Structure 1
Amino acid sequence: MAQMKRILVIYTGGTFGMLKNEKGVLVPQKNIEQVVRRLPQLHDEEYWTENFANTNVKDYLVLPDGKDTELKVLYKIYEYEELKDSSDFTLDDWIKMARDIKRFYHDYDGFVVLHGTDTTAYGASILSFMLEVVGKTVVLTGAQIPIFQPRSDGSNNLLCAVLIAATQHIPEVTVFFGSKLFRGTRVKKVSNTRIHAFDSPNFPPLLEAKTTLDVDPKMLIHPAGSVPNECRIHDKLSRKVYVLKVAPTITPEVIRAVFDNMEGVVLETYGNGNMPIKRRDIYREIERAVKNNVLVVNVTQCFNGTVLGKAIYETGLLLVECGVVPAFDMTSEAVLAKLSYVLSKTELSYQQKVELMKTNIRGELYNPQH
């Protein structure tokens, strides 16, 4: 018998397994494994019957043979008791996922998380920071069209995600969608209608599914053999973080309302990190918050681009002088996740947390000063 790889697929909810309810709206469905078992591109029923039906791996599914690997890839779907639309996800849901990856870590060769698309970018970033050490491939995926529908993109997304988890050694959190594999801390959802729903604005994909599935090792954070085969998680996260978008109608009262009782704020500014220069009342509120040890990070509203530590325009200089931290080329989702992680490191001083925000630790940023 061919060498086997075992993958755990954690089904959390999302569009992948949704059907319309009596009100005509999509909701997650239970027992998704029964649906997947009937799809020949996702399960080789004949092989399973001949080899596994009466064994201790009878609850696994088996990928059909293909040219991507000579391995026999088995996978088990671990379905959560409460399935959610990802818009309902909170930090507690991602903490549960991280803990489950750790709990089952030594039982499987890789992990796939079936996740709703709306918060995939948040989930991938948060899991990336929580999994401080992970020596196996973790892939988040989902669907724009439910698996029950004939045009579903879910089949290929799941197939590729399982194959990547089984055949590629990528010891970090990733997202596969459409035809590309992205770093978890670099991904953004860019469309709610296109099949290619995700992109990576400031970093190239790790892999593109063509006639083969091959990753360039130079794209990875960790060189081959440099990560121990273990899983270590940090599952205490700050919940006092939020994103505030600068708009022409912003007021000191808005700044104060958001910043009060927060430990960290992602400040989405114009262009290279700019705000209206005439609004000194706004700057005073930001400066007050920073003096009270609120960690404020300046990220561009632009889909692609950077906010550097040195202001380019006068309209960005005051934020630097206020002590606001530049995000460099991080996404808002990655900044929010990193703030939540860094702020929970109670052993660090405020200044150490500032420095950690400016340091690349999960492939989330490029800082030309380092």
Structure 2
Amino acid sequence: MEQTRVLARRRCLRPYPHPILQKKVLVPQKNIEQVIRRLPQLHDENYYKSKLVRSELQEYLALPDGKDTELKVLYKIYEYEELKDSSDFTIDDWIKMARDIKRFYHDYDGFVVLHGTDTTAYGGSVLSFMLEVVGKTVVLTGAQVPIFQPRSDGNNNLLCALLIAATLHIPEVTVFFGAKLFRGCRVKKVSNTRIYAFDSPNFPPLLEAKTTLDIDPKMLIHPPGSVPNECRLHDKLSTKVYVLKVAPTITPEVIRAVFEGMEGVVLETYGNGNIPIKRKEIYKEIERAVKNNVLVVNVTQCINGTVLGKPIYETGLLLIECGVVPAFDMTAEAALAKLSYVLTKTELTYQQKVELMKTNIRGELYNPSHA
């Protein structure tokens, strides 16, 4: 008897780069399913006509047979009414995606979120924290070249994401792009022109698509079988958070303006977590904010690197002494997402929130003092 694996693929509010060209500007377009049904790499039309078209599964698409699985992978496309470019995404858009995964959780074996590349690193991080427990594979993917174009990278990205979500048990949020699967809260967009647009600077990929799709269980946060098949969602995120980048032209007025009304700020500092030490007025503004219970997190501007709890330089020691939280090896995107998540944990005290920011909860950081 033929086995069938059913997969849901979630469509975000401009989840997939399927735009049309208008006056040489790419804009979102609806009905991506019509395009995918014409792509033999992504849809087995013969199987559909012989097995699905007259059944209760007629709304599904079917992947063509291959060596990656003996199961027949079926997937259903959900598309939101309003499509957005991913650069227009707000916190509310990711909350909607997370709620939909929760809503359809028991209907499918895995989920693929088709997401515009500009904010994929934010989306992967935000979904990682909101989905506090997820016993199924969630994969974000997209394309650098639109799927309707002959040289699109989207075909293979989507194909591999579907296969991973349908056949591998990876109970966490991930990002697949350019032949690699990354942890969702570790990924960063590093190029807007290269096909290999994403990287995971401080943590190795979970999987590299070669002739097979194999994952080392040791790479996962949770050992196989240790996560219950359930979805626990925390669907509240603070919008009173922001990222402030330290630059030579920074002034106390800039710091004061950014921190005003904020619950948390990610401070992107030089090197190992340094700020100008001789400009005491800058340090005083940050100190004042922390004393007013603004949760400030110190993340390095470097693509690869860490901000430790025991700073190397005196310029970093000032921030530790006034209560700024080291981000360790978190990306700025992960730090912002985690901060937005932690700040809505109303049952925690300010100090408990500080400790939670320094604690690895989704594989987002390595804190040597906790090793």
Tell me, yes or no, if the aligned pair for 2:15 and 2:113 is still in contact at 8 Å: no
Determine the C-alpha separation between the residues in 2 that align with 1:319 and 1:164: 42
Cα distance in 1 for partners of 2:130, 2:364 equals: 14
Q: 1:15, CA displacement in angstroms? A: 5.3
Say whether the 8 Å CA contact 1:115–1:142 is kept in structure 2.
yes
Alpha-carbon distance between aligned partners in 1 of 2:17 and 2:263, rounded to the nearest angstrom: 35
Q: Residue 24 of structure 2 aligns to which amino acid in structure 1?
A: G
Q: Which amino acid aligns with 1:320?
A: I
Q: CA RMSD in A?
A: 0.7
Separation in structure 1 between the aligned mates of residue 122 and residue 224 of structure 2, nearest angstrom: 27
1:316-366, Cα deviation, whole Å (9 max, x unpaired): 111111110000000000000000000000110000000000000000000
Spell out, residue by residue over 1:248-305, the C-alpha distance to the aligned partner (whole angstroms, 9 max, x if none). Answer: 0100000000011000000000000001110100000000000000000000000000
Structure 2 matches for 1:265-276, cutoff 5 A? Answer: 265-276=265-276
**Counterparts of 1:255-274 in structure 2 under 5 Å?**
255-274=255-274
Q: Give the match for residue 174 of structure 1.
A: 174
Q: Distance in 2 between matches of 1:250 and 1:15?
A: 37
2:16–2:114 Cα contact (<8 Å) kept: no
Tell me the amino acid that sits aligned with residue 263 of structure 2: E
Name the CA distance, whole Å, in 1 between partners of 2:57 and 2:98. Answer: 24
Distance 2:80 2:215 in 1: 31
Provide the rounded CA distance (Å) in 2 between the counterparts of 1:174 and 1:19: 28
Instruction: Give the structure 1 partner of residue 99 of structure 2.
Output: 99
- What does residue 17 of structure 1 align with? 18
Matched residue, 1:59: 59
> 1:10·1:80 contact (CA, 8 Å) conserved in 2?
no
Q: Determine helix, strand or coil for the equivalent of 1:84.
A: coil
Equivalences for residues 215-364 of structure 1 within 5 A: 215-364=215-364
Query: How far has the Cα of 1:14 moved from its partner?
Result: 4.6
Q: What 5-or-longer segments of structure 1 have no aligned partner?
A: none
- The residue type paired with residue 170 of structure 1 is I
* Counterpart Cα distance in 1 of 2:8 and 2:359: 32
Note the C-alpha offset of 1:16. 2.1
Aligned residue runs from structure 1 range 32-111, under 5 A: 32-111=32-111
Query: Mind listing any 5+ residue stretches in structure 2 that lack a counterpart?
Result: none
Distance 2:326 2:87 in 1: 28
Contact 1:15–1:144 (8 Å) recurs in 2: no
Q: Secondary structure at the match of 2:79?
A: strand
The whole-number CA distance in structure 2 between the counterparts of 1:272 and 1:4 is 51
Q: Counterparts of 1:22-33 in structure 2 under 5 Å?
A: 23-33=23-33
Query: Residues of 2 paired with 1:155 and 1:278: CA distance?
Result: 53
**Secondary structure in 1 matching 2:148:** coil
Give the alignment of 1:70-219 within 5 angstroms: 70-219=70-219
Q: Residue 206 of structure 1 contacts residue 220 of structure 1 at CA under 8 Å; is this kept in 2?
A: yes
CA distance in 2: counterparts of 1:150 and 1:324, whole angstroms: 49
Moved more, 4-13 or 288-297: 4-13
Q: Tell me how far apart the structure 2 counterparts of residues 133 and 39 of structure 1 sit (CA, whole Å).
A: 35
Equivalenced residue count is 369
Distance in 1, matches of 2:125 and 2:173, equals 8
Shift of 1:2: 2.3
Question: TM-score, with normalisation over the residues of structure 1?
Answer: 0.99
Give, in whole Å, the separation in 2 of the partners of 1:10 and 1:111. Answer: 6
